[in-house]
Every structure is written in structure tokens, then in C-alpha cells.
Amino acid sequence: MPDDDWRSTNLANWNERVAFHAASGNYRVEQIATDPDVISGVVDFDRQLVGDATGKRAGVAARWYFGDLYDAPQVIGDETFDLVYTGVGAIGWLPDIRGWAQVVGHFVAPGGSFFIRECHPVLSALDYDDPDRLSIIFPYFETAEPTVFDEDGTYVDRDASFEHNRTVEWIHGLAETIQALLDAGLVLDDVGEHTFTDWQPFDRFQKIDERYGHWALPEDIRSHLPTMFHLKMHRPA
């Protein structure tokens, strides 16, 4: 698939859903903007929301750059940062986790840190339409060929209807992600696999926490499946 196809297909799908996500209770934009205790490091990078995110409400001055992840070193340059963070739901859109990790490594300053919280690849490999079992039907390891979905709706409202429904996605195994970051020169400080999510992946997930908006499988099968992971890494000074 030519590069521009997957980028433009995903962008059309995502852009159509951004305003809908922002208006939904799941994203808790108003709560995050007004209750500092809930911010927990959450920043929204979407262009249509930058009006809210440029610091007007949070009182923080920020510079904003827009571009494809793989172009970030060209767009931002050689500046390095004390903390690099990537938001939930990001790496599944990218074909090459090693290329992504090189971009992350490019920006972490000596002595600086990298933090990621992400959807667990085992959750991404599941059949969301099987109401009875946790069945793996998609790759767990990164493959050259993407998995292409054609699904109306979105995770904050599966009954909503949109025009652009195709997405082009890739899974990256947890060790593939960690190894790619190690190969980019980072050192692993902390790794965790979790049993909650920030969204409802499929019907069997139940809301377990209103304040932070967490969902999880019913307690009797909660220990069967990792749903998110986190990594904290640093570049030696």
C-alpha cells in the first residue's frame, strides 16, 4: 500500500471523529480542563482542539508543530526534551515500530525520560465481535501488511455514523516495542501490564471508575487479559 494511501485513509477517518470524541463524556475535555487533579499528564494533540490546548485555559505557554510522526525530526529539528510522552492510541497507526522508536530516541535529551501508556497488543489482536470468548484473530507481532478495518461508529459511540470508515492499522508486540526503544539508546526503568482501559473496547467491558473513566472486563475474567501497558525509560546522561 503506498504511503500516502494509509496516511490519508487514516487521517480522513480520524478527522471526521475528532469533534465527536471531544464532545463525548468519555474524553472528559471539560473535566480535564477545569480539574487539575484529573489532568494526569493528558494533552490533546488534535488540530481542531488546539484552540483549547494552546494554554488559554491551562495557563501554560506551548509551541505546536503538526506533521507525520516519521517526519517529526525534520519538522521539529534537533532540539531534545527532558520528557517525551506519547498519548494512548498512537502506535497502532504506524507501520514500523523501530522507525517510531528512533524518532522517540531522537527527542529524549541525555538524562531525559520517555513515558508511554498504550493499548496492549493482545487486546488489539482480539475479535471484538465474539460475545462469548476472548479469541485472537489478528496478528500479535508486527507484520508488513496492515490490518484494514471498515467500521462505522467510534469507540465513544458505536452507533454513530460517519462517511470515512476505513482504517489501516498495525500491531506491534510488546517486546518488539521495548526492544526498539532499547535499540534507540533508551534504558528501561519501569514496565507494567494493566487490566483496565480508558475506553470501552467491546460490550463486556464495564465502567469501573467514573473519575478517571476506566473500564475493565468482569472480575471473574479480568486476570485473563492485559488491556494496557506502560513503559518508563530514560536516556543516560
Ligand X SMILES: C[S@@+](CC[C@H](N)C(=O)[O-])C[C@H]1O[C@@H](n2cnc3c(N)ncnc32)[C@H](O)[C@@H]1O
In Å, how far are 25, 92, 233 from 209, measured between CA atoms? 13, 25, 28
- The residue (of 43 and 175) whose beta carbon lies closer to ligand X is 43
Helix 97-107 to helix 174-183 angle (10° resolution) is: 40
Per DSSP, 164 falls in state -
Q: How many Å apart are CA 64 and CA 25, to the nearest integer?
A: 26
Choice from 5, 30, 35, 68 touching ligand X (CB under 6 A): 68
Q: How many Å apart are CA 232 and CA 124, to the nearest integer?
A: 21
- Choices 52-60, 84-92, 129-137, 209-217 (CB under 6 A): range interacting with ligand X: 84-92
- The residue (of 148 and 187) whose beta carbon lies closer to ligand X is 148
Q: Which residue is nearest to ligand X (CB)?
A: 89
Q: How many Å apart are CA 195 and CA 188, to the nearest integer?
A: 21
> What is the pattern of x (binds ligand X, CB under 6 A) and - over residues 25-64?
--------------------xx------------------
Binding status of residue 90 toward ligand X by CB under 6 A:
yes
Q: How many Å apart are CA 55 and CA 65, to the nearest integer?
A: 15
> What is the pattern of x (binds ligand X, CB under 6 A) and - over residues 91-130?
--xx------------------------------------
Q: How many helical (H) and strand (E) elements, i.e. helices and strands, does the chain have? A: 8, 9
Binding status of residue 153 toward ligand X by CB under 6 A:
no
CB of 40 to ligand X, least distance (A): 13
> What is the pattern of x (binds ligand X, CB under 6 A) and - over residues 1-30?
------x--x---x------x---------
b/e string for 183-198 if b means 16 or more Cβ within 10 A? Answer: ebbbeeeeeeeebbbb
Choice from 89, 112, 201, 226 touching ligand X (CB under 6 A): 89
- The residue (of 154 and 223) whose beta carbon lies closer to ligand X is 154
- Choices 88-96, 141-149, 189-197, 209-217 (CB under 6 A): range interacting with ligand X: 88-96
Tell me the helix, strand and coil percentages in the chain, rounded to 5.
35, 25, 40
> Which strand (E) or helix (H) includes residue 206?
strand 206-209
Q: How many Å apart are CA 156 and CA 23, to the nearest integer?
A: 10
- Interface ranges with ligand X (CB under 6 A): 7, 10, 14, 21, 45-46, 68-69, 87-90, 93-94
